[in-house]
Amino acid sequence: MRRALRWLMAVCVVVATSTAAYAADPRAIDLRPLVQALGSGGYSGTEKALTQLSEAGDPAAVPVIEALQAGDLYVRKADGSVVVARKAGDAFTLTDPLTRAALGDAPAAAVEKIRINNSLRRAISASLGALTLMSPDAGVRRSAADAVFKSRDASALETLSAAIAKEQDKGVRAAMEQARAAILLTGEAASKMTDAEIQSATDTLTARGDRDALVLLNMVAGSGASDITKKSAAAAVSTLEQKLAFWAALQNLWYGLSLGSVLLLAAIGLAVTFGVMGVINMAHGEMVMIGAYTTFLVQEFFRAHAPGLFDLSILVALPAAFIVSGGVGIVIERSVIRWLYGRPLETLLATWGLSLALQQAVRSIFGPTNREVGAPSWMSGAFELGGLTITYGRLWIVVFAFAVFAALLVALKRTWFGLSIRAVTQNRPMANAMGIRTARVDALTFGLGSGIAGLAGVALSQIDNVSPNLGQGYILDSFMVVVFGGVGNLWGTLVGALTLGTMNKFLEPYAGAVLGKILVLIFIILFIQRRPRGLFALKGRAVEA
């Protein structure tokens, strides 16, 4: 029963998408007597007519059967003809089931519903499946084949074989063959098959190579089928499991990379303020949050004034978030942090205070609830790559994270500003003596780190809730990444972010999300104790000073 239901639902989808294709089909011949027969002889009469209708193999019967399934098929008492009737007010609107010609209205008393029972329901779905397999539309045939694969309804076997013989499209034929193999292996037919047939059926399923095939093969291997079938299935299971494990690992790697790039985005600004300047900015998360709210405001503007350009809003939000967060960062540096240089623990406390105030400020202005930030069309959807499913949103974030990283690297290495930053951090008095305005460099460096946090906020607004607490969720992770990677080393931050991201995602299937995170935290705590200066620590006297 359950199986039949599943089958039914699958077919409904197929039918719903394909009705239009049948409407114009010119081959509507010879079906009328069969359709008429649906209305006589009670359940058994209907069932008999249904079988004949199905065996005729004409897709034009599909809307009729569909109407029967939906309970829209009636017998007009006046002439005993079968009609489609839909309720309109107190009366019914009648149409011809095959031609769809309007037949006028009729009072409720003038028609009688063709009733169906469970057995009929199953027959209906089977014949719908069989008929759709013959559809002229390749997409419909394919969906139908998949539906049969899922239901493994033995009654579809004959139609399926016929469909395979006729099928021209390679992909659709493969799907049909898989469906047939599924029916053969799980049904009673299996006991009558030769070894070679069994082998070819299992091979067909192995070739399908997804989790459904694995479930099926596992079922066969553990069923009461013949030994040779079981053996063949078991062999196929192990091949398939390896293949699936490989793709699963790859998928995990992708998730890890994706999480890692999010961590990288959140941490990279911190790598500048903490790693390069040595300033502990606990309000870093709030810079991210401000970036996300800037995205929200930019999108609101686009929604209100240029809805047609909405897809570009993110591109405008990027510089806007950089400027807003960077600006807030500069204000913070000039007003608070510059008085606290050389006192990292005090800086930590003061910036924590700032983070509380910033959160409350945003809460007061925008309210405590999540704000809706939309995704542009080019960031929505997903595509398949082998056994991987990759969403465009995540893909863009990975690309973006690496782009930001590369840009920062170039900025620090190749520009005059980067040179001044390095000069100031290495030897402040000397840099001062050489005419570098150290106070200005401090402010701009802090602004740069905060601005990058703002960029991270734009990206995070796409995957996380934009709320006043957005930043808090990332601050500790960001510190972990920077400290794990080795303070003052951007490459360390990159490796740290990707390692922690991947580790998290690989632990998740075994330990669950929360325990996985706990394990990662414990790992970092232990790791820092083994290597207090992180993964890519610089050795030597400079560190000890």
Partner 1 sequence: MLLRFFLMGLDRKAGIVLTILAFLAVAVPVLTLWVPADSPFHLSVFTVSLLGKYLCFALLALALDLVWGYCGILSLGHAAFFALGGYAMGMYLMRQIGPRGVYGNPVLPDFMVFLNWKELPWYWLGFDHFWFAALMVLVVPGALAFAFGWFAFRSRVTGVYLSIITQALTFALLLAFFRNDMGFGGNNGLTDFKDILGYDIQADTTRVVLFVATVAALALSYMIASGVIGSKLGKVLVALRDAESRVRFMGYDTESYKLFAWTLSACMAGVAGALYVPQVGIINPSEFAPASSIEAVIWVAVGGRGTLAGAILGAVLVNMGKSYFTGALPELWLFALGGLFVAVTLFLPKGLLGLGAQLKAKLPGRKASPLPNAQTANQATGQTAGQKGA
Partner 2 sequence: MSAESTLLYLDGVSVSFDGFKALRGLSLVMMPGEMRAIIGPNGAGKTTMMDVITGKTRPDTGTILFEGDTDLTRLREAAIANLGIGRKFQRPTVFEPHTVWDNLELALKAPRRPLKTLTYAISRDDRARIEEILDITRLSALRSRQAGSLSHGQKQWLEIGMLLAQDPKLLLVDEPVAGMTDAETEQTAELLCSIAGKHSVIVVEHDMSFVRALGVKVTVLAEGSVLAEGSLDAVSANQQVIDTYLGR
Residue ranges that bind partner 1, judged by CB under 8 A:
272, 274-278, 280, 336, 339-350, 352-361, 364, 409, 412, 418, 421-422, 425-426, 476, 479-480, 483, 487-492, 514-515, 517-518, 521-522, 524-526, 528-530, 532, 536, 538, 542-545
Nearer to partner 2 among residue 192 and residue 539 (C-beta):
539
Q: Rank residues 228 and 340 by Cβ distance to partner 1 and give the closer one.
A: 340
With CB cut-offs between 5 and 8 Å by kind, which of partner 1, partner 2, none does residue 421 bind?
A: partner 1
Which CB, 375 or 480, lies closer to partner 1?
Answer: 480
Q: Which of 191, 182, 170 is nearest to 217 (CA)?
A: 182
Binding partner 2 (rule: CB under 8 A), the pick from 170, 192, 530, 539 is 539
CB 373 within 8 A of CB 310: no
Q: Shortest gap between Cβ of 541 and partner 1 (angstroms)?
A: 8
Give the 3-state secondary structure of 214-275: HHHHHHHHCCCCCHHHHHHHHHHHHHHHHHHHHHHHHHHHHHHHHHHHHHHHHHHHHHHHHH
Pairing of strands 73-76, 382-385: unpaired
Nearer to partner 2, 143 or 489 (CB): 489
Question: Judged by CB under 8 A, does residue 89 bind partner 2?
Answer: no
Residue pair 459/405 in contact (Cβ under 8 Å)? The answer is: no
Helix ranges (H only) for 384-437 are 392-414, 416-426, 428-433
Tokens in use for 291?
A: 């970036």
Among 309, 361, 407, 538, binds partner 2 (CB under 8 A): 538
The entry of partner 2, partner 1, none near residue 539 (CB within 5 to 8 angstroms by kind) is: partner 2
Residue 373, Cα to own-chain centre: how many angstroms?
A: 18
With contacts defined by CB under 8 A, how many residues of the chain interact with partner 2? 5
Q: What angle do CA 490, 493, 494 make, to 5 degrees?
A: 95
Strand partners, 390: 383
Q: Which does 415 bind (CB under 5 to 8 A by kind): partner 2, partner 1, none?
A: none
Which of the 8 DSSP states describes residue 77? Answer: T
For residue 537, the number of C-alpha atoms closer than 13 Å in the C-beta half-sphere is 16
Identity of the residue, 514 or 545, whose beta carbon is nearer to partner 2 in the bound complex: 545
Nearer to partner 2, 384 or 544 (CB): 544
Q: How far is the CB of 421 from partner 1 (least distance, A)?
A: 7
Judged by beta carbon, residue 170 or residue 541, the one nearer partner 2 is: 541
CB of 533 to partner 2, least distance (A): 12
Q: Which pairs count as long-range contacts for 238-245, CB under 8 Å and 24+ apart, including other chains? A: 239/206, 240/206, 240/209, 240/213, 240/214, 241/214, 243/209, 243/387, 244/209, 244/210, 244/211, 244/214, 244/387
Residue 230 interface partner, choices partner 2, partner 1, none, CB cut-off 5-8 Å depending on type: none
- The interface partner of residue 59, options being partner 1, partner 2, none and the CB cut-off 5 to 8 Å by kind, is none
Tokens of 436: 């570098």
Give the nearer residue to partner 1 in terms of CB position, either 309 or 525.
525
Q: Which amino acid is at 122?
A: R
Which one of the spans 406-414, 455-463, 524-532, 533-541 is the region binding partner 2 (CB under 8 A)? 533-541
Binding string to partner 2 for residues 265 to 304, with x set by CB under 8 A, is what?
----------------------------------------
Q: In the 8-state DSSP scheme, what is residue 276? A: I
- Residue ranges binding partner 2 (CB under 8 A): 538-541, 544
